[in-house]
Structure 1
């Protein structure tokens, strides 16, 4: 059996804090259609879902055409905000994220991956801005998969790396990440600095309050595998 292990990270709310642009783009999308703008908690609760699923939850009374227009307007507004501010400012890394990634990546048997509700274009902008793309050998985006918590992203990451589910760990800030991991037979670490409350992380195998705790928690989970 291969000694390789895989750690897959969510992006928004886990590696980077993009909530300012998320909230701004959502306000622009809803306001542009004359719809009531969802509150902050409602918006952050759908971060991690693919945009079509997110809009269906935020605007259930809207028909399919209106929801599709919300998606289009959101993408345009988000891209405009990112262009004006720069991706590094729009989506700053959380404190300790870079150091934790470098520590994990330094272990020859550990592979790193991403599973995100972002588009390929959006993910590329964030990775390029922070110079961290080289860490991730598998990168799964919303363009090519069903929305979380469907396990397709994690299954693709496992297939690409050849790592067995019991040797993989998903790291994320939402219940969608934890439910996706469970559906794929992968253990999970919930992070408390993201967009959903600690109560949403109850199904995780472990929880981290700071990035500095993450490598140790991951090692501990592997030790009891």
Structure 2
């Protein structure tokens, strides 16, 4: 048995634009300059308190707590606005469904989202059943601490050496490596492929289709020749 643990924002969910918008609203509501979208994108994947502290270095504890609460309030308000949706990246839902149907695989989610946020996204897209285990920012220390991966492995009864982490940020890759798992990065999220490779990703997928091929390569025992074979298969 093997396990695949997916990050959410920037990997499954095309939510980076929404997160940037909510972060701008939150800072402005507190009388602060809104962070640049590029800065916000760079911290997506971290737990909210850690992320905001990086956007506002030296922030006092009381203001940090208020910003965290304000962000969550802004996000809940946005969810009920007409037309609001957290979209999934095209083809990712199909890939997750195909993988979850395989008897030899168990899927999990490891995310900086809150439990409430994960529940809302999974309900919106009817995909909760695909994931046998979920660990969020409410459950574990922020990425890149390995706790999310290690707790999922324990819950699933699968060793880290038989676990793959899929994510779009260096924090996902660093978390996987710290836990002793393999990491595959995805190029459609927050961090560039060169950053993901530098952080220790075994491979970086350019599309969900390529990700599926890389996952098959990993399941069969390795990724040493994956790049050449994948490029040939998708050309």
Classify the TM-score, shorter chain: over 0.9
**Cα displacement (A) at 1:154:** 0.4
Contact 1:21 1:90 in 2 (8 A): no
Contact 1:187 1:205 in 2 (8 A): yes
RMSD: 1.2
**Cα displacement (A) at 1:6:** 0.4
Find out whether 1:46 has 2:43 as its counterpart. Answer: yes
SS of corresponding position for 2:70? helix
Q: Who is 2:16 aligned against?
A: 19
Which of 1, 7, 15 is matched with 1:10 structurally? Answer: 7
Q: Who is 1:138 aligned against?
A: 133
Instruction: In structure 1, list runs of 5 or more residues that go unmatched.
Output: none
Specify whether residues 142 and 82 from structure 1 end up closer, same or farther in structure 2 by C-alpha distance, changes over 3 A only: same
Contact 1:28 1:73 in 2 (8 A): no
Specify whether residues 85 and 20 from structure 1 end up closer, same or farther in structure 2 by C-alpha distance, changes over 3 A only: farther
Which of 191, 196, 204 is matched with 1:207 structurally? Answer: 204
Instruction: Give, in whole Å, the separation in 1 of the partners of 2:191 and 2:82.
Output: 25
Contact 1:18 1:90 in 2 (8 A): no
- CA deviation map 1:19-78 (0-9, x unaligned): 232112111111011111110110011111001100110001321111111111111111
Q: Who is 2:220 aligned against?
A: 223
- CA deviation map 1:148-206 (0-9, x unaligned): 00000000100000001111100000000000000000001100000122222112011
Which of 193, 196, 201 is matched with 2:188 structurally? Answer: 193
Which of 117, 120, 125 is matched with 2:120 structurally? Answer: 125
Contact 1:10 1:171 in 2 (8 A): yes
Specify whether residues 192 and 69 from structure 1 end up closer, same or farther in structure 2 by C-alpha distance, changes over 3 A only: same
Q: Who is 2:55 aligned against?
A: 58
Written as runs of structure 1 = structure 2, the 5 A alignment for 1:15-164 is: 15-85=12-82, 89-164=84-159
SS of corresponding position for 1:99? helix
- CA deviation map 1:118-151 (0-9, x unaligned): 0100000000000111000001011010000000
Q: Who is 2:232 aligned against?
A: none
Instruction: In structure 2, list runs of 5 or more residues that go unmatched.
Output: 223-235
SS of corresponding position for 1:91? coil
SS of corresponding position for 1:90? coil
SS of corresponding position for 2:190? coil
